[in-house]
Structure 1
């Protein structure tokens, strides 16, 4: 349990009304009951169930019905619903194009597999672990092939093994560096299923390699490589709103500090702050990032090197957006202005990909403009982001992941303005550019909002079906 997790009273699930709600799959009552008795915010409830805060709000208002078996399963697991309260009756799930039918529980599904004997469940778990060990040995070219839009949850393999790691063996540092580079390339290409399948072994290999190094620079570098692996894991977990991000970000920061490398520490601190922001602590995340950026640049007697200024820009941009999420307009704009000023101090053309192993993006004018768009949307003045949106052509952005990020930011901007056709156009552009992005809970939510809007958007229902929106 993370310190910010709500405390669950022992009698929480004993109320007759909530027991009936579980049988009826009345998620509105379940959510309201849970928050009333634990004090959890909508943001924290979203972090526990893998939903965006806007999803929780819409569900509690009755503006959205929950019928997805995946959402019901994550609700039961995230809220620790006792298995004996869940219905064991199964119904045939509605199938989507390209999928096969399967049985799902009529009540919120239990995190265990109801109906399987204990021995069978253990055998199934062992088989899954063996498949992970043998199937995720390397990030090969075949693993990085395009995947269907309706892919399985890409973070699931890591969630299964994060507390019971796979066995790893040390490899030469150059081999590990190559694997980390391939992992970063998979993320940049928005091939999240391939990355998710490979991450458990990549992390295990990085840790085994570090444990094989005992002293000196080699040991420091091995710590840095472990941090890079966990930074990558956290980036994927954050995209999927997975609570495992708390664990992976903490491990990344611990390893980064052990390495002593300020740039690695900066990257790990950024992911820890993003995880903190997603848990409803945006103001604290902004302050942490600001302090980290200041420490990074103050460690130099003269002009910091360009790579250090790159990292500072990225931290300040992330801090600015975090302050915007917290509703701190003055602080948010001041941090974004400071990032712009630092960017101008870099006496060379910034590298589009930053370190290549540390950050998802570099310090560039386009990135600064993208953070302006998302920050103004978070502050409730999305119209202010339009001039920045017009400065950027998605085709000029360095990777599919960054192009999808821009399209996501502009899609949210147009949604907040109330322009459904342009929002839908942005989502369809993401489908062409990086289809696995549309599996993110936040974009599923945006798709669902369009589906239930009053606008006549051609093909929206088929689009929602393709990408698992909450129907």
Structure 2
């Protein structure tokens, strides 16, 4: 790896660790977002002034980059043997919660790393992969998407590093329209990586979403850009930035809503649902209700009240059943779970197109009943989730819910065995 690419990798790692977008960093140092992207890719050498501003904004001393002073940028070289150490130092400092410690060379590395650690590897120590045909890449991506929608997250985590490496190698080997299509495949692979990290409540979701959006923008495909914006907004919400997340989702939805094709308008509808839930989590009731009303109107305008499994979106769907599912989460987040009961009753789980969505129904119902103080129904919803997607109940949020049931004053039959099965006790 060249010196400029190593420098770019270090800057990207530090930026993502601080949860900044390329546009935010560029604004602080007088560069555009695309220029920062080129710096991070090693294609553009920053000026002395820009480098000083970048390191100042990121609180990253030049010495940490292997550069003794600004003027040495053109001459200094980070030795190869120091490169891996530099990346590990940045990852450990900024992304410890994401499982970056699995990158160490201690005996713990011999154990199978979790999905978050494998995503970290794909981000900063990507697998060396050979380019493949665009057709084969799309087939591999479709297979990975199937792992997500059937809630086989462990298998998806195993396959993602290879998929990401292959996608990026294929993109580099192509040009013109084929390269744009490969950009879209890269973006969707990073969308899957972000979705997986979000399931684990891992901070690695932030840099993964950043990669997804950068590739999506390069693809020029507004649908893919909408998919990437959605997962980035979720990471923003999880990071305590719900207002900015809602703004991003609104703007992206508006840009897609006027499109003539059904898929673009369906993506816009899902973005409005995500924005509504984000507003609800921020206790902005008026915004949440308005956004859900807008999402409902958007779904009603789609053929057959939604984009059905025959023409799927990438990781979600825009249907009346999906809308009802979001209403459960919105009301629970706003502190009115009793209003979510009506929407839960409208859903026939079999109407939801994938195991992942059916598991989301079980999860949202469990949270709803938990907030209503009904432990028996909470446990029934958790059991349903286990039946449709066994890996889902091992997620941190559901393990916490199981722990609440386990240590509740009134025991519910079967909870202790369930807790043992899911690793809570």
Confirm or deny: 8 A CA contact 2:328 2:364 kept in the other structure. yes
1:238 aligns with 2:198: yes
Which protein, 1 or 2, shows the higher relative CO under an 8 Å CA cutoff with sep ≥ 6? 1
Larger displacement relative to structure 2 (402-411 or 345-354): 345-354
TM-score (ref. length: structure 2): 0.74
Q: SS of 1:280's equivalent?
A: coil
Confirm or deny: 8 A CA contact 1:353 1:360 kept in the other structure. no
Q: Partner residue of 2:212? A: 252
Give the Å deviation of 1:190: 0.5
Q: Partner residue of 2:383? A: 428
Partner Cα distance (2:222, 2:311) in 1: 12
Query: Aligned to 1:306, which of 262, 266, 274?
Result: 262
Output aligned runs, 1:62-461, within 5 Å: 111=101, 121=105, 153-214=114-175, 216-298=176-258, 300=259, 304-348=260-304, 350-353=306-309, 356=312, 359-461=314-416
Give the Å deviation of 1:112: 7.4
Q: Partner residue of 1:3? A: 18
The change in CA–CA distance for 1:346 and 1:422 in structure 2 (over 3 A counts) is: same
Count of aligned residue pairs for this structure pair: 337
Give the Å deviation of 1:334: 0.2
The change in CA–CA distance for 1:415 and 1:217 in structure 2 (over 3 A counts) is: same
Q: Could you list the per-position Cα deviations for residues 366-387 of structure 1 after superposition, in whole angstroms to 9, with x for gaps in the alignment?
A: 0000111000000000001011
Please report the RMSD computed on the Cα atoms of aligned residues, expressed in angstroms. 2.5
Structure with greater helix percent: 2
Partner Cα distance (2:399, 2:328) in 1: 20
Give the Å deviation of 1:346: 1.2
Partner Cα distance (1:311, 1:417) in 2: 32
Partner Cα distance (2:378, 2:161) in 1: 35
Q: SS of 1:162's equivalent?
A: helix
Confirm or deny: 8 A CA contact 1:354 1:361 kept in the other structure. no
Q: SS of 2:274's equivalent?
A: helix
Partner Cα distance (2:206, 2:391) in 1: 23
Q: SS of 1:337's equivalent?
A: helix
Give the Å deviation of 1:456: 1.6
Give the Å deviation of 1:458: 1.1
Partner Cα distance (1:222, 1:355) in 2: 21
The change in CA–CA distance for 1:112 and 1:269 in structure 2 (over 3 A counts) is: closer
Q: Structure 2: 5+ residue runs without aligned partners?
A: 1-13, 21-91
The change in CA–CA distance for 1:246 and 1:321 in structure 2 (over 3 A counts) is: same
Partner Cα distance (1:387, 1:176) in 2: 43
Give the Å deviation of 1:124: 7.8
Give the Å deviation of 1:122: 6.5
Partner Cα distance (1:353, 1:283) in 2: 32
Confirm or deny: 8 A CA contact 1:190 1:400 kept in the other structure. yes
Give the Å deviation of 1:160: 3.5
Q: SS of 2:346's equivalent?
A: coil
Q: SS of 1:458's equivalent?
A: coil
Q: Partner residue of 1:23? A: none
Q: SS of 1:217's equivalent?
A: helix
Q: SS of 2:303's equivalent?
A: coil
Q: SS of 1:171's equivalent?
A: coil
The change in CA–CA distance for 1:256 and 1:355 in structure 2 (over 3 A counts) is: farther
